[in-house]
Amino acid sequence: MKISVIGTGYVGLVTGACFAEIGHDVVCTDNDTAKIKTLESGGIPIYEPGLDKVIARARKEKRLSFCESTAQAVSAGDAIFICVGTPPLPNGDADLSAIDHVARIVATEAKSPKLVVEKSTVPARTGQELKRALSVYSRKTGISFQVASNPEFLREGTAVGDFLHPDRVVVGVEDEKAEKQLKEIYRPVLEKKFDCPVHSDCPKSPDPAWVVTTINSAELIKHASNSFLAMKISYANMVADLAERLGADIGEVTRAMGLDPRIGGAFLSAGLGFGGFCFPKDLQAFVFLAERSGVDFTMLKEAERINKQRIDRFVEKIREALWVIRGKQIGLLGLAFKPNTDDIRFAPAVELVHALLEEGAHIRAYDPQAMERAQEVLPQIEYAKTAYDAAVNAEALLIATEWDEFRKLDWNRIHDEMARPLILDGRNLLTPKEMKHLGFEYHSFGRRD
């Protein structure tokens, strides 16, 4: 199948590369010409484990190409996957102007009928607007379009594996023809017939569920799923606060809770809360959609409020431990919103830095992948070459991202580098007993530190 991917950010790049990996001919485009130039010259503008290998192989086998001209990309594909950003507007609603922009180009440049698929996360009923826009903008050409929704559930950091081994593929369609076309595209994934670039021997798992719905339902599934997971994190954080007051241990509590299959262990980690380009904005857009539809979804607002408070709770802990923050040298480990990515969009670490700078702290930060991006938005702090450098002369060392690398540090060495051996672990990455044994004063969330 010939596929065009519009928008080559995290989702578009993984989508394009994985579709090429399973045998399709894919052309990717983006209105950021610098990004396309980087890709054309063999570079990759994002850090995503394993993606470089998939892209290199697909390019070598001439199944994947990048082009600056959206018009050219539109002509190339029978199916067009829209993967552009849908950032939040100041009122919380999703900004759909990039989708509208793409609709105009597709409608005016297409020379033959196309299946236009929304992969970007959009509020329910966007598909209907997209269909209307395509028909309005193609008034002069008379080309017809089908619209479908195919929400993406990949997680940054494990995106290639998630894309190729999904637990479900959701397609929102209006007719059998679109469903057939999408099933053909996903057939190798559904039948697990591809040469897996992630595993030499793929772990046994049930076949992905093929879920066919209306377009409205598919759009709703994505927002409802992300908002539910965000709520789960906020719930765990409230239980952590309670555990702290009662002298219980949040790790013990959530471990046992998660063993109940009705609850599940994922997304129950206590700490600094969620960030990234999905949960915060999707939660906001879902609240906005509910309000506009006359549904009072206050519980989602609470999940958001609780999440925002996590930074304040952490700063309180820092203040309690340091007494005065102003003028203190603080080391920060982790800037990315989660490990194995360089993505700092809505990262709790960025919020934390702003809060600490306001209090007058001097910050030296380290992240294995996200420092280049962080320097663009946080030019006012120092950046360390290694985690050890971040600890030098620090009166406190903070952990804001649970990179595995941090777990494995030589903590004796860190102890010797610091002006005061004080760790505030915003991700409950380390063990209180071990840190105490090493001579640290150690604080985390919801545990008997």
Ligand X SMILES: NC(=O)c1ccc[n+]([C@@H]2O[C@H](COP(=O)([O-])OP(=O)(O)OC[C@H]3O[C@@H](n4cnc5c(N)ncnc54)[C@H](O)[C@@H]3O)[C@@H](O)[C@H]2O)c1
Question: For residues 166 and 182, what is the distance between their CA atoms, to the nearest angstrom?
Answer: 15
**Closest CB 422 distance from ligand X, rounded Å:** 34
| Site for ligand X, residues 204 to 233, rule: CB under 6 A | none
Is residue 35 near ligand X by the rule CB under 6 A? yes
Q: Which is nearer to ligand X, 9 or 432 (CB)?
A: 9
Q: Which is nearer to ligand X, 67 or 321 (CB)?
A: 67
Instruction: Find tokens 């509590």 and name the residue.
Output: 253
Is residue 11 near ligand X by the rule CB under 6 A? yes
Total residues found in the chain within this entry: 449
**Crossing angle of helices 126-137 and 215-246, rounded to 10°:** 140
Segment lying near ligand X (by CB under 6 A), choices 16-24, 25-33, 378-386, 418-426 = 25-33
Question: For residues 134 and 410, what is the distance between their CA atoms, to the nearest angstrom?
Answer: 58
Q: Which of 4, 8, 234, 254 binds ligand X (CB under 6 A)?
A: 8
Instruction: State which amino acid sits at residue 198.
Output: V
Question: For residues 95 and 93, what is the distance between their CA atoms, to the nearest angstrom?
Answer: 6
Instruction: Find tokens 């793409």 and name the residue.
Output: 102
Is residue 36 near ligand X by the rule CB under 6 A? no
Q: Which is nearer to ligand X, 52 or 249 (CB)?
A: 52
- The closest residue (CB) to ligand X is 9
Q: Which of 25, 152, 219, 402 binds ligand X (CB under 6 A)?
A: 152
Question: For residues 142 and 111, what is the distance between their CA atoms, to the nearest angstrom?
Answer: 10
Is residue 397 near ligand X by the rule CB under 6 A? no
Q: Which of 4, 65, 120, 149 binds ligand X (CB under 6 A)?
A: 120
DSSP letter for each residue of 306-349: HHHHHHHHHHHHHHHHHS--TT-EEEEE--SSSTT----TT-HH
Q: Which is nearer to ligand X, 102 or 306 (CB)?
A: 102
Q: Which of 54, 133, 154, 182 binds ligand X (CB under 6 A)?
A: 154
For 367-372, the CB contacts below 8 A with 24+ separation are 367/333, 367/334, 367/335, 367/336, 367/342, 367/401, 367/403, 368/403, 368/405, 369/47, 369/336, 369/340, 369/341, 369/342, 370/335, 370/336, 370/341, 370/342, 370/343, 370/344, 370/401, 371/335, 372/342
Q: Which of 9, 271, 334, 432 binds ligand X (CB under 6 A)?
A: 9
Question: For residues 145 and 138, what is the distance between their CA atoms, to the nearest angstrom?
Answer: 9
Order across the sheet with 209-213: list the strands: 64-66, 25-29, 2-6, 79-82, 114-118, 145-149, 168-172, 209-213
Is residue 378 near ligand X by the rule CB under 6 A? no
Alpha helical stretches, state H, 77-166 = 97-109, 126-137, 159-164
Q: Which is nearer to ligand X, 96 or 414 (CB)?
A: 96
Segment lying near ligand X (by CB under 6 A), choices 29-37, 47-55, 107-115, 421-429 = 29-37
| Site for ligand X, residues 56 to 85, rule: CB under 6 A | 70, 83-85
Q: Are 114 and 106 contacting, i.e. CB atoms less than 8 angstroms apart?
A: yes
For residue 71, the SS3 value is helix
Q: Which is nearer to ligand X, 32 or 249 (CB)?
A: 32
Q: Which of 39, 79, 173, 278 binds ligand X (CB under 6 A)?
A: 278
**Closest CB 121 distance from ligand X, rounded Å:** 4
- Pick from 120, 189, 121: nearest CA to 161: 189
Question: For residues 51 and 156, what is the distance between their CA atoms, to the nearest angstrom?
Answer: 11
Q: Which of 30, 93, 219, 395 binds ligand X (CB under 6 A)?
A: 30
Q: Is 278 a catalytic residue?
A: yes
Q: Which is nearer to ligand X, 61 or 372 (CB)?
A: 372
From the list 18, 28, 83, 278, the catalytic residue is 278
Q: Which is nearer to ligand X, 214 or 225 (CB)?
A: 225
Strands (E) across 31-165 are located at 64-66, 79-82, 114-118, 145-149
Question: For residues 6 and 83, what is the distance between their CA atoms, to the nearest angstrom?
Answer: 6
Is residue 277 near ligand X by the rule CB under 6 A? yes
| Site for ligand X, residues 78 to 117, rule: CB under 6 A | 83-86, 98, 101-102
Q: Which is nearer to ligand X, 20 or 381 (CB)?
A: 20
Q: Which of 32, 249, 405, 441 binds ligand X (CB under 6 A)?
A: 32
- Torsion sign, CA atoms 378, 383, 387, 392: negative
**Closest CB 389 distance from ligand X, rounded Å:** 29
Q: Which of 1, 23, 31, 129 binds ligand X (CB under 6 A)?
A: 31
Is residue 148 near ligand X by the rule CB under 6 A? no
Q: Which residues bind ligand X (CB under 6 A)?
A: 6-12, 30-32, 35, 70, 83-86, 98, 101-102, 120-121, 152, 154, 156, 277-278
Active site residues: 278
